[in-house]
Structure 1
């Protein structure tokens, strides 16, 4: 598994699952209260069929609360919304069996799908469900009622699908800016720290990683001689040049001010050194508009069962400073 894949399982997803879980818990609690009220009222009025439906929904909602409290937040939220969707699929058929129209339940379905599916699949499910309920409504009510329901439901679908698209795009923008450095467009230090944690986690199954710590040589002098605007441009150009020279599954992070980091997960031994030399050469030969730019690189390797990930990272940092002391524009590989 590439490290880029595991980066998707980060704090952003945890936050999303937590919010969805909280919404599910509140909704489940409200459904319990509402169904108790409806069940009691229908029972007193002698409406046995609708009372039976209310008690059935109450049982599902009560079980959902227990599931939400006892399982993981992601699983619990998914089970709750899937359970409500299953109820909404059954309700129209139940209404047909007791010769009573239940089309008003259908308006719950589109907003529910926003919590369960991505916009594309949710639109397909909304339309299919609308056709299904319209067909059952046609068996119970005059055609004009089918038209009225279809019109109202169709507008609800349009609004909910538009909202789902906006929400998805907003989430992508927020996620990108929370994961990336604004100047260099590299992944940021927070994301690097999350990647370290996942690398060290045994459940992800990683066996090794080569760390490359990269520093722009004499960057303070570049700033002093050319100004900070030029310094910012150099950081941006170096990041772009490094990105072009990297393999697809090796994420590039902005580790510090003028320092970058690369992780090569489960790569062949020596791949880190070869990549470091390729990066060094690319920057040395790059065109930085009249400014001479070089980099120094420190490389270290971590293996499962041979010390902590943090220790390997520290070795890469020490190798980087050794490259600096040895004259810069070079790479140094930490001893095993």
Structure 2
């Protein structure tokens, strides 16, 4: 009989490993400590790259605001809001980054009591699960979030501007004055002088130099003066995005769920396919529960890939059933 340690390779036969209750607690403490160290390291890495992470999360919002003709900005309602959200986001992503290593340490403690055949499925499912979660987050940020944000910002324009007739509020000093024409440039001048002015081709911003500093006013902001304007707080936006990331990461786990049901012989793929309509309804309900935005567009953008992944899970489940039906070699 041997004694298992978290730093040791997994035994081929778990029956050969015998440990007292105190030894089990000691090994569990070691595995948990190693997992926590991994989380601390992952969080430290994400704190270092916190600016890049926030830029990755806020880029869809900035693009959506510019697309609808608004100046992209997020406001703070608390002096410590940016500080708190920076570290909160870094911790969330740090846990996600270190989750494979941390869970592997805990898995080694559990796997010592499992046979090699039982461990094999976890080796398949764990990388697939993490990959699907990351794919769900990437799908959200790159494809879903830009469209959802444009739609949500567009709803502000459903409220019309009031028609007000307050009479003339300005006088024309020179009716014969010619309009000022500013050059439209792709790149700003390398050494602008005081009084220089131009329009940026990329975003339509008006630029002028005063006291050696370049001041900018986006033309889009002047073109879209609405009664209801989108002004979101930094905390609300990040909470919304983090909730959506969790929803899409969990929603993309559906093929794992289907294959596990087939492996455990709880249900067959033929029976699942027979109730496909009920599965579609369940997916739509799950998408509605998971998405924090509550809008129909975001729910459908989650439900559609969930259904496609459900069909993928059925294909993998059929492959597992065919492999199980093959006669064992003599």
Q: Same fold (TM over 0.5)?
A: no
**Structure with more of its chain in helix, by fraction:** 1
What band does the TM-score fall into relative to the shorter chain? under 0.3
Normalising to structure 1: TM-score of the pair?
0.27
